């Protein structure tokens, strides 16, 4: 199996704009200077080509129109080898390798080689800002798509620095993925203290998915402070494209459940589900090992189904989420800015880990009622389950 010709032999770096940042004005108003650095990454999964095509489109338009950029835009390919084959991955999922342990000891897989090259590309720009001055801020926009249809949406680690850039895109914001999946590029980049968001642009093969990605890139260039709104051709139309695609959907949704496919099992999602489709508790969503002692997979809670798997690779069957009222984001922002992260330690069943700063250990036998929700308000995220306790880690908010 191979992908179209435009996805063959892709370079790791699709482009850098301005192409010669060292020649820009010293105050950064005409180019790199001390402005923001924006990484655009497409194709972390090889069956999701729309992001790569969108990055090429925007970089070409920036160059053709000579759009003034305050900072630097870098377009990168995630998994070039898998893109050339049209497969999600060759050996292992590249978007599960971004942990300190896997980066330190990457192993011999095809995706480990891709990761090393991608890391080198990140560091080439992170470590050498123009003039020796630090970037004003660093932003990652990781462009993905899904095997199911439905609205585009963003995914973030819920830090205060991530929220404004994500909320500038008029599509639903999904919270809590980093509590369900370990080793994503998004989480690794956010843990470095940078702004990081993922855009799921739509179904993998639909032309509209690349259009959604293009719109999101232009809007992010403006919201991240690299490009003035008046310098973007048709900015209102780009925004309207996303508004229309996400009409009548909740602004913020939090993941509450992940169905992990058992190792070696055959998984078959029932046809017809789309992202954000409401589902009922007890509703049959999928089957395991259909045709040979099949077992139904029922929905464990009412909510909205997200990223149902209609592809052969991957161990995430589906996710379930529930709407979060925007008022709670405002409450949590106030609590975090007030530096009240110590408050959860006085809750029953919650204690600090003295050996690891910023981490809490929660005894779920004692701390039962709304403990997770309260910890989220103060910026903690679920990390690991250790017997009868759960470990929470504080997110790095820039306050």
Please give the full DSSP string across 294-332, using - where no structure is assigned.
Answer: -EEEE-SSSEEEES---SSS-SEEEEEEEE--HHHHHHH
On whether residue 332 sits in a domain, the answer given is: no
Contact 322, 253 (CB under 8 A): yes
pLDDT tens series, the chain, 399 aa: 678 889 999 999 999 999 855 434 334 444 445 699 999 999 999 999 999 999 999 999 999 999 999 999 999 999 999 999 999 999 999 999 999 999 999 889 999 999 999 999 999 999 877 777 889 999 999 999 999 999 999 999 999 999 999 999 999 999 999 889 999 999 999 999 999 999 999 999 999 999 999 999 999 999 999 999 999 989 999 999 999 999 999 999 999 999 999 988 999 999 999 999 999 999 999 999 866 667 999 999 999 999 999 999 999 999 999 999 989 999 999 999 998 888 998 888 999 988 888 899 999 888 777 888 899 999 998 888 888 898 999 888 876
On whether residue 359 sits in a domain, the answer given is: yes
* CA 341/CA 378 separation, integer angstroms: 6
On whether residue 61 sits in a domain, the answer given is: yes
Copy the structure tokens of residue 79.
Answer: 């998994």
Q: Which of 150, 136, 239 is nearest to 203 (CA)?
A: 150
Please indicate, yes or no, whether residues 237 and 264 belong to a single structural domain of this protein.
no
This prediction has a pTM of 0.92
Contact 301, 319 (CB under 8 A): no
Please indicate, yes or no, whether residues 269 and 355 belong to a single structural domain of this protein.
no
For residue 320, give every residue at least 6 positions away whose Cβ sits within 8 Å of its Cβ, in sequence order, or none.
255, 256, 257, 258, 279, 299, 300, 301, 303, 304, 305, 306
For residue 282, give every residue at least 6 positions away whose Cβ sits within 8 Å of its Cβ, in sequence order, or none.
298, 299
Specify the number of domains making up the chain.
3
Q: Is residue 199 packed enough to be buried (19+ CB in 10 Å), middle (13-18) or exposed (0-12)?
A: buried
Please indicate, yes or no, whether residues 49 and 197 belong to a single structural domain of this protein.
yes
Strands 37-42 and 138-146: parallel
- Containing domain of residue 273, as a range? 252-323
């Amino acid at each position: 199996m191979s992908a179209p010709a435009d996805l063959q032999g892709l370079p790791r770096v699709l482009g850098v704009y301005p192409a010669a940042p060292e020649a820009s004005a010293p105050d950064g108003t005409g180019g790199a200077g001390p402005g923001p650095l924006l990484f655009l990454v497409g194709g972390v999964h090889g069956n999701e080509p729309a992001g790569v095509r969108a990055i090429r489109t925007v970089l070409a338009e920036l160059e053709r129109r000579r759009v003034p950029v305050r900072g630097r835009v870098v377009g990168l390919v995630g998994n070039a080898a898998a893109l050339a084959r049209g497969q999600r991955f060759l050996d292992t999922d590249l978007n599960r390798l971004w942990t300190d342990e896997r980066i330190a000891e990457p192993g011999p897989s095809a995706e480990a080689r891709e990761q090393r090259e991608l890391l080198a590309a990140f560091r080439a720009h992170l470590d050498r800002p123009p003039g020796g001055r630090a970037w004003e801020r660093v932003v990652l926009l990781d462009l993905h798509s899904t095997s199911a249809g439905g609205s585009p949406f963003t995914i973030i680690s819920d830090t205060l620095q991530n929220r404004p850039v994500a909320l500038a895109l008029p599509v639903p914001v999904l919270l809590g993925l980093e509590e369900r999946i370990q080793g994503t590029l998004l989480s690794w980049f956010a843990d470095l203290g940078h702004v990081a968001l993922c855009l799921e642009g739509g179904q993998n093969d639909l032309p509209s998915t690349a259009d959604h990605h293009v719109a999101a890139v232009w809007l992010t260039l403006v919201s991240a402070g690299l490009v003035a709104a008046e310098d973007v051709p048709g900015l209102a139309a780009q925004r309207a494209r996303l508004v229309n695609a996400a009409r009548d959907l909740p602004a913020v949704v939090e993941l509450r459940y992940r169905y992990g496919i058992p190792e070696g099992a055959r998984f078959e999602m029932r046809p017809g589900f789309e992202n954000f489709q409401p589902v009922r508790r007890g509703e049959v969503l999928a089957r395991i090992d259909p045709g040979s002692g099949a077992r139904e997979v029922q929905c464990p809670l009412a909510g909205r189904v997200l990223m149902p798997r209609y592809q052969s690779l991957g161990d995430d069957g589906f996710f379930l989420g529930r709407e979060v009222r925007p008022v709670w984001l405002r409450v949590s922002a106030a609590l975090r800015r007030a530096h009240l992260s110590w408050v959860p330690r006085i809750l029953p069943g919650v204690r600090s880990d003295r050996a690891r700063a910023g981490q809490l250990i929660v005894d779920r036998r004692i701390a039962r009622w709304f403990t997770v929700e309260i910890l989220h308000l103060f910026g903690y995220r679920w990390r690991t389950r250790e017997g009868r306790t759960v470990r929470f880690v504080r997110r790095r908010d820039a306050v």
